[in-house]
Structure formats: C-alpha cells, structure tokens
Amino acid sequence: MIVLPLDEADHQAVMNFLLPDLVRNGALIADCTVLRDRARVFVAHKAGTILGVMALFDDFAAIRCTSQNTFDKLLGAFGGMLSGRTLAGIVATEELAYIEARAHLDSVEPIHAMLYDPPKQPEPPHLPETLARRLTVADLGLMRRFYAEIGSRHWRPEALDHGPFYGIVQDEQLVAAAGTYYVTDWLGELGMVGVLPRYRRRGYAQFVSFLVARDILTRAKKVCLHVRRANLAAHRLYLGMGYRDVADTFLATWHV
C-alpha cells in the first residue's frame, strides 16, 4: 500500500470510491473538489485500487477507509502535522473504532445524518419572504456577534466563501441564521443553524433552513445535514421539512 497526496491522476478514481455513499462522504467530496485549495488530502492505493481517503480542513478530519491498517497509513501520512492538535469529525462506527485504536478520543456524540432528496423544492414556511435575506460580507460584524452569542464552534468568516447563508435581522442585530459547510455539484450540507433565545418559537430556524436548502438546490442535487440524536426538537423539525434519516454516525473529537 502507498499513501500519497491527492493529485489529478487520482481524481476520478477517488470520486468513484466516494460518490456511491454520498452523505457519508460529502465532506470528503467537498475537500477533493470545491475546498481542495485549503484541504490537505491523502489517498491510500494498492495495486491501482483506492482503499482510503483522509482529509484535514482546519481541524476537521474527514475519513473513509476500508481497514484499520489503511487508517493507520493515512494517519501516518500527516506526520507531525497532527501532533498535539484536537481534531473533530463526523464518522461511522468503523472509523470510530479505528480512531479509538490509534488515537485518544476526547468526546463522542451520536449524530443523525439526514438527507433531503427532492422530488420537488422544499415547501416554504408560512412566513413572509422579505423577513430574511442572504447574508454577505457586509454582515460579517452581525454574524460574528450572533455566532459568538449562540456559542457556535464551527462558524468562521471564510464560511461565506463556501456557500449561502441566510439570516433575519431585527432590532439592529442578527437574530436567526443558517448556512452551509460546502456545496458541490452533488450535495450541499446545511448547518450552523441558530436563533437567539428570545426569538425562538417563531418558526425562524425552519425559515432560514428552508432558504439555505432552496439556494443549495439551485446547484446541487441533494441537501444533507447532521443533527445530534439528543436534540429531539431539531430532529422533528427536519423530519417535518421532508428530510429523512440515512445513517447514525458520531461526532468525535480526538488527538494523536
């Protein structure tokens, strides 16, 4: 087995390896395509066959591999880059076992992977379209304060470069917002959904989620998201919007 950085000669074979399991591999597909300029991606080969792919985007690790040995080889390819860093990733049961055997798990939280695979566009909530708008770089100050207030660990200013964000501005502040981690030709991932506490129970989370999903579907074929299994209210919300559960996964944080 050899492990090398992703290059153009590998690209189609890697996509053939990843695309059959679109939701599970969505982040990796993004790292190999639209986020490729910022992601570090390594590919494990044996006799011309792809056995695994691992990508690091900031401190988020995306993994797909066929064995513990493949995982070990991929992890080793990053060398000292990972030493002392805390990584996060949404992983399946087998990858969680690989991490546990090779690294130190800091936390594990069960997650529902959900998919909107539309026969038609999602139904809009019963709120006026003018209530929300697409957010731009001019809104970065509002977004920075909003995501700090709701305690989001994932939002970064450069997230606006990766896909659409929509928000509701009232009382000179951003009170609800949703965005996306990536949008590829195949799939976009909805995320970073939040509402300030005093503005909840007004349908705002559903509304901004709908607007982001509708925007994603102008480019991608499907929309996915991940919801903590303990967050029953959010899970019910997205089931009601037409999403369906496709896998039980885990949000793991770990270090080497």
Region 25-49 average pLDDT? 95
CA 236 to chain centre: 20
Per-residue confidence (pLDDT) for residue 154, from 0 to 100: 82
3-state secondary structure 33-69: CCCCCCCEEEEEEECCEEEEEEEEECCEEEEEECCHH
pLDDT band of residue 197 (cuts 50, 70, 90) is very high
Report domain extents, the chain: 2-111, 115-247
3-class state of residue 130 by DSSP:
helix
Per-residue confidence (pLDDT) for residue 22, from 0 to 100: 94
% of residues, the chain, pLDDT over 90: 84
Is the backbone of residue 246 left (phi > 0), alpha (psi -120 to 50) or beta?
Answer: alpha
pLDDT, tens digit, 9 for 90 and up, residues 80-128: 888 888 999 999 999 999 999 988 999 999 999 999 987 766 666 778 8
CA 87 to chain centre: 14
CATH class as words, domain 115-247: alpha beta
Q: What's the CA gap between 182 and 189, in Å, rounded?
A: 6
Provide the edge-to-edge strand list for the sheet that holds 133-134.
2-5, 40-46, 49-57, 60-65, 86-91, 244-255, 104-116, 222-228, 187-195, 173-183, 166-170, 133-134
User: CB-based contacts of 75: which residues, under 8 Å, 6+ apart?
Assistant: 54, 82, 102, 103, 256
Axis-axis angle for helices 232-240, 204-216 (nearest 10): 50
User: CB-based contacts of 145: which residues, under 8 Å, 6+ apart?
Assistant: 173, 174
Pairing type for strands 173-183 and 60-65 reads unpaired
Distance (Å) of CA 190 to CA 17, 45, 207: 23, 32, 13
Q: What are phi and psi of 80, to 5 degrees?
A: -75, -5
Region 158-180 average pLDDT? 96
- CATH code given to domain 2-111: 3.40.630.30
Q: What's the CA gap between 81 and 127, in Å, rounded?
A: 48
Q: What is the mean pLDDT of the chain?
A: 93
Question: Quick check: 218 pLDDT over 90?
Answer: yes
Higher pLDDT, residue 13 or 48: 13
pLDDT band of residue 192 (cuts 50, 70, 90) is very high
- Contact (Cβ atoms closer than 8 angstroms) between residue 180 and residue 162: yes
Tell me if 2-111 shares its fold with 115-247. Answer: yes
Per-residue confidence (pLDDT) for residue 211, from 0 to 100: 95
